[in-house]
Amino acid sequence: MTIQGTEGLQRGYIVPIGGAEEKLKKPIILQKFAELCGGKNARLAIIPTASKLKETGQNYIDIFRDIGVDHCVGLPIEERADSEREDYLRELKEANGIFITGGNQLRLSTIMGGTSVAQMIRRRNADGVHFAGTSAGAAFVPEHMIAGGKNSPTPREGGVTFAPGLGLTNRIVVDQHFRQRDRLGRLLSAVAYNPFVSGIGIDENTAAFIDPDGMLEVIGTGSITVVDPSELSHSSMGSKSRGTPINLTNLRLHLLSAGAKYDINTRQVFLD
């Protein structure tokens, strides 16, 4: 199923990155994103809102310029009023690539949620502009955002907390720094709450390049863990007391490395 934007335009790629992506020696993920946006002719807008470090936005500007992108601008949205600035909205309207950095995803939802900037990002992606987010920026991608939860291999009642996400897709829920921070339990808990979505757990220095037809390709040195609940026959999430392990039966689990693909609409896997 191809997702159409306004005036019949094909939407842009959606690229959640698991965090800690290589930035200097072989920045294959950032380089691929830059090339997707036009390479030297790309116009990138960097949003460092999730980070409290003042240098985060400029660091990514420098990285993309080293890769070869001539036009790269930072939008330091630090409070909700910044999300209504006309100059920032103009930059987003002219960009062909939008990148959100890592940090704390709750800063993204509380500062940008429901604002003109969030609306503009959704509209621009629907009209063909490519979007990438790393770490917190990756978590912010879907309609339902994982806001927190205990790192654990075991799914539990109350094992994950949600907040509204950016809403670029409602087909997946995303977790990041996945194997490095032992987050299988909270991703399984997230899927148990909403078995409509596929759970996408992305390792560090790994990204999911999701094309306009919903085909996800794994890029990077780690793996993506896909939790497919389409055949789920039982979840005890609604009957367990808080903090206790839950039962989940007939889940499908895929571990996918570079080059493997997963269709988020049909839930089929394709290996290279």
**How many CA atoms lie within 13 Å of 17's alpha carbon, on the beta-carbon side?**
26
pLDDT (0 to 100) of residue 4: 44
pTM for the model stands at 0.96
Distance CA 216, CA 209 (A): 5
CATH class of 11-264: alpha beta
Tell me the residue length of the chain: 272
Q: What is the pLDDT of residue 7?
A: 61
- Position 9 scores a pLDDT of 87
Say if residues 233 and 247 touch (Cβ distance below 8 Å).
no
Closest CA to 166 of 202, 141, 198, 184: 141
**Helices 116-126 and 86-94, packing angle to 10 deg:** 10
User: Which helix (H) or strand (E) element contains residue 254?
Assistant: strand 252-256
- For residues 20 and 18, what is the distance between their CA atoms, to the nearest angstrom? 7
pLDDT, residue 6, reads: 62
Q: What is the pLDDT along the chain (272 residues), one digit of tens a residue?
A: 344 456 678 999 999 999 999 999 999 999 999 999 999 999 999 999 999 999 999 999 999 999 999 999 999 999 999 999 999 999 999 999 999 999 999 999 999 999 999 999 999 999 999 999 999 999 999 999 999 999 999 999 999 999 999 999 999 999 999 999 999 999 999 999 989 999 999 999 999 999 999 999 999 999 999 999 999 999 999 899 999 999 999 999 999 999 999 999 999 999 97
8 A C-beta contact, residue 249 and residue 234: yes
Angstrom distances, CA of residue 203 to CA of 82, 250, 272: 32, 24, 19
Catalytic residue IDs: 135, 177, 204
In the chain, the DSSP E strands lie at: 14-17, 43-47, 71-74, 97-100, 130-134, 144-148, 161-164, 172-176, 198-202, 206-210, 215-220, 224-228, 234-235, 248-249, 252-256, 261-263, 269-270
Question: Residue ranges per domain, the chain?
Answer: 11-264
